[in-house]
Amino acid sequence: MTVPSPFFAKERFAMISKRVEKPDHQHFMKEAIKQAVTALEKGEVPVGAVVVWKNRIVARAHNQMEMLRDPTAHAEMIALTQASETLASLEEARPRNRDHRGSLEGATLYVTLEPCPMCAGALVVTKCTNLVFGARDPRAGSCHSLYHITEDDRLNHQVKVTGGVMADDAKFLLSEFFKGLRKEKR
């Protein structure tokens, strides 16, 4: 499979490695975008994610569906799993009972594309506190666009959702990837 040259993406996002004194949504979304660029370079759909707990990144991931030949290997799923493992090993992250059980209470997932139903469900199950996403997904978005799984009060946990953070940057990577796919099909 031919993908668009990652040169444009690297050039466009060269500034994202600069450290911000006071972390905010844009700072962490830039880190998720770095992961999406990695996915693009590997021929994956360019979606990246990071999980933040107490203002530090505890997990980073990008889509790996092609590489792993696993349709569930979304950036969000991989990042949530990594974060659960990381927090389970941190003494300060453990709740009152000594068994952590993978809870992501107090954590924020930053992802470049609005999560699908599977990933939105995982956010609820892991009890992630916040979700910040870049581009909306009109075909599969399950946090604002099609469904509101993460904010459904019929479920045992709700996730606070903020969308549209650096959406243009996330859309750019996605459009470059799909342009390359269309050229390949010609």
pLDDT tens digits along 117-129: 999 999 999 999 9
SS (H, E, C) 10-45: HHHCHHHHCCCCCCCHHHHHHHHHHHHHHHHHCCCC
Per-residue pLDDT tens digits for 14-67: 444 444 344 489 999 999 999 999 999 999 999 999 999 999 999 999 999 999
Catalytic status, residue 31? no
For residue 96, give the DSSP letter. S
Instruction: For residue 62, list its beta bridge partners.
Output: 48
CA distance 29 to 50: 8
Catalytic residue selected from 44, 76, 114, 176: 76
* C-alpha closest to that of 131 among 39, 28, 47: 28
Give the confidence band of 114 by pLDDT, cuts at 50, 70, 90: very high
Average pLDDT, the chain: 87
* DSSP 8-state code for residue 146: S
Q: Which pLDDT value is given to residue 49?
A: 98
Distance CA 100, CA 80 (A): 14
Q: Is the dihedral of CA 66, 67, 73, 78 positive or negative?
A: negative
Q: Which residues, listed in sequence order, are joined to residue 111 by a DSSP beta bridge?
A: 49, 133
Say what the pLDDT of residue 15 is.
40
Length of the chain: 186
Percent of the chain whose pLDDT exceeds 70: 81
Task: Count other C-beta atoms under 10 Å from residue 43's C-beta.
Answer: 15
pTM across the whole model = 0.84
Answer whether residue 2 shows pLDDT above 60: no
Residue 102, classed as helix, strand or coil, is coil
Instruction: Write the pLDDT tens digit of every residue in 89-110.
Output: 876 666 554 555 679 999 999 9
